[in-house]
Amino acid sequence: MLRILVGCSCLATFPASAQDTPAFTYPLPTAEDRIAALGMLEGLPATERRFFEISEPFQPKFTPGPHDWLATHPEPTQSYARFIQSGRKSFREPRVVIYLQPIGAMPEPFAKLLPTVRKYAEIYFQKPVVVQDPIVAPAGIASRINPSTSEKQWLTTDILELLSREMPKDAFCRVGLTLTDLYPDPDWNFVFGQARPDRGVGIYSFARYGSPDNRADFLRRCLRVLTHETGHLFGMGHCVYFQCLMNGTNHQAESDATPLFLCPICLRKLHGTQHVDLARRHFELAEFFSKNDLSPESGWMTMRAKALGLGSSETR
């Protein structure tokens, strides 16, 4: 019988064990743990420090339900200091481009979404993002028919191998996108995505994201998994401190409850290695959410801009 675990298996150190009941009670961090994980902010310029201060809109990680990620995975913690010590990957010349590689057929309306997804990644990481020509019929990829859905699935490890070959010289990472469902191991039912940070490659599938006719929900799921997987590619582990983009998720409802935003600790990790212009990133994200009718996210950005005291003079 296939295991029912369906979450992100991005960190391959975790055993692919699936449980119908909680395996254990995860010791959720306390407020003091969150402050310690963020680290000292003294010494940072005030214009940066304000983005990392723990405040009202960031919700501590919810107590996991019996089928949620933290009920079944002994997730290690990754503080900002541990992230910095871990040999995380930084964008360094000439390897500064994020490549998105469509794999398999990408008919409309999916193809239409690609420029939007590309733009979002460019804003999120403040780095150039290039969509490559599709590999319509990839060779040497193991596949199977999932007995639950009767749909074709590709083996992620073969796709990650494929992506590792012919990496462009200026690639920071290469992320595959596909409409075909994925499995990481014969014992697993499926995964949304999987990354190999050591090789700078990742793959994620749109296959389980519902109808693209519901554009906002579908787009939100695509944006969430793309940025989550890419976050792993420069060494960010799963976040256990706040409700955060980098939370591990075990099923679609848990994933849908995960915000598109990084918590202060994970945003500090992004900034600590990539040195992004945080004010510019904020305004560009707000504009993106507004243009794409992602109303809750757009409202959240407006509220944050006020709390941060961001003025329009900081937009560019």
| Residues in touch with Zn ion (CB under 5 A) | 8, 10, 239, 244, 246, 263, 266
Residue carrying structure tokens 């919810």: 62
CB-wise, 69 or 120, nearer to Zn ion?
Answer: 69
d(CA 53, CA 215): 33
d(CA 184, CA 15): 12
Q: Which is nearer to Zn ion, 262 or 310 (CB)?
A: 262
Comparing CB distances to Zn ion, the nearer of 117 and 267 is 267
Least distance between Zn ion and beta carbon 160 (Å): 14
243 — alpha (psi -120 to 50), left (phi > 0) or beta?
beta
Which is closer to Zn ion, CB of 201 or CB of 292? 201
Secondary structure E strands in the chain: 97-103, 129-131, 143-145, 152-155, 171-178, 181-183, 193-196, 201-205
Considering the complex, what minimum distance in angstroms separates the CB of residue 298 from Zn ion? 21
Query: Could you tell me the smallest distance in angstroms from the CB atom of residue 210 to Zn ion?
Result: 20
Comparing CB distances to Zn ion, the nearer of 255 and 292 is 255
Active site residues: 229
61 vs 292, which CB is nearer to Zn ion?
A: 61
- Sheet with 143-145, edge to edge strand ranges: 143-145, 152-155, 181-183
How far is Cα 133 from Cα 6, in angstroms, rounded to an integer?
29
Distance CA 180, CA 182 (A): 7
CA distance 143 to 88: 32
Q: How far is the CB of 242 from Zn ion (least distance, A)?
A: 5
Minimum distance between the CB of residue 54 and Zn ion, rounded to whole angstroms?
A: 11
**Do residues 230 and 125 lie in contact, with contact meaning Cβ atoms separated by under 8 Å?**
yes
- Please tell me the distance from the alpha carbon of residue 1 to that of residue 181, in angstroms, as a whole number: 18
Q: Closest approach of Cβ 224 to Zn ion, in Å?
A: 11
SS3 content of the chain, % helix, strand, coil (to 5): 35, 15, 50
Both tokens assigned to 203 = 């793959």
Q: 155 φ, ψ to 5°?
A: -80, 120
